[in-house]
């Protein structure tokens, strides 16, 4: 194995793990967007698209986009998911073409921006929900909200891994 092959082998695992983290972040974001359980209580369920409550014969689920904070949360999460998808595709193409050094800094910046948008949405949602006092009973933030946080963690991990510069090292240590 030559020195060039050894150096490229050292570069790939971190970037490949970052690529996998970006994909997992996007998948978790899509699952969080489609999740029917962001906030649940005994007789109530709220997610990003609908507000469900029991009726005499069946559950009624009108649209949940009635307030500005619900729309803002949805827009922030959709934007973060779009940026994550774009950065995943950019890094996948650059990884497959072998031009990895060129675009990884851009991908890292995009993922950091997606993390900021996602965290802002995930902080805004419970604060405004509690402030609006929609539920008068006991309620809990459910697995859909947790998937949003999981997505933010994987986005942050991918962006940190893309920031690592493994091409600069001392030859004396190898």
Residue with tokens 């559950």: 59
Instruction: Name the pTM for this structure.
Output: 0.81
| CA angle, 84 then 89 then 90, to 5° | 95
Q: Where are the domains of the chain?
A: 3-168
Using CB atoms within 10 A of its CB, is residue 106 exposed (0-12), middle (13-18) or buried (19+)? middle
| CA angle, 25 then 29 then 30, to 5° | 120
Over the chain (174 residues), the average pLDDT of each successive run of 10 is 50 79 95 86 77 73 78 92 94 80 84 96 87 70 90 94 69 43
| Pairing, β 139-141 against β 39-41 | antiparallel
The 10s digit of each residue's pLDDT in 131-172 is 876 656 677 888 888 999 999 999 999 999 888 766 555 444
At 10 the pLDDT is: 46
Q: Residue 52, CB half-sphere, CA atoms under 13 Å: how many?
A: 16
Q: In the numeric block, which tokens belong to residue 57?
A: 């014969």
Which CATH code is given to the segment(s) 3-168?
Answer: 1.20.140.150
SS (H, E, C) the chain: CCHHHHHHHHHHHHHHHHHHHHHHHHHHHHHHHHCCCCEEECCEEECCCEEEEECCCCEECCECCCCHHHHHHHHHHHHHHHHHHHHHHHHHHHHHHCCHHHHHHHHHHHHHHHHHHHHHHHHHHHHHHHHHCCCCCCEEECHHHHHHHHHHHHHHHHHHHHHCCCCCCCHHHC
At 48 the pLDDT is: 79
């Amino acid at each position: 194995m030559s020195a060039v092959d050894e150096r490229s082998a050292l570069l790939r695992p971190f970037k490949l793990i970052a690529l996998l983290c970006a994909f997992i972040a996007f998948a978790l974001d899509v699952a969080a967007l489609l999740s029917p359980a962001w906030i649940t209580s005994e007789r109530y369920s709220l997610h990003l698209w609908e507000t469900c409550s029991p009726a005499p014969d069946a559950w009624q689920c009108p649209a949940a986009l009635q307030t500005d904070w619900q729309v803002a949360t949805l827009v922030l999460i959709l934007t973060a998911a779009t940026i994550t998808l774009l950065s995943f595709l950019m890094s996948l193409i650059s990884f497959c073409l072998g031009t990895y050094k060129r675009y990884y800094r851009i991908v890292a910046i995009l993922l950091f921006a997606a993390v900021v948008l996602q965290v802002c949405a995930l902080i805004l949602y419970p604060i405004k929900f509690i402030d609006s006092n929609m539920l008068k009973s006991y309620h809990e933030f459910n697995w859909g909200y947790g998937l949003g946080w999981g997505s933010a963690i994987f986005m942050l991990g991918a962006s940190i891994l893309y920031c690592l510069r493994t091409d600069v090292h001392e030859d004396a240590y190898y």
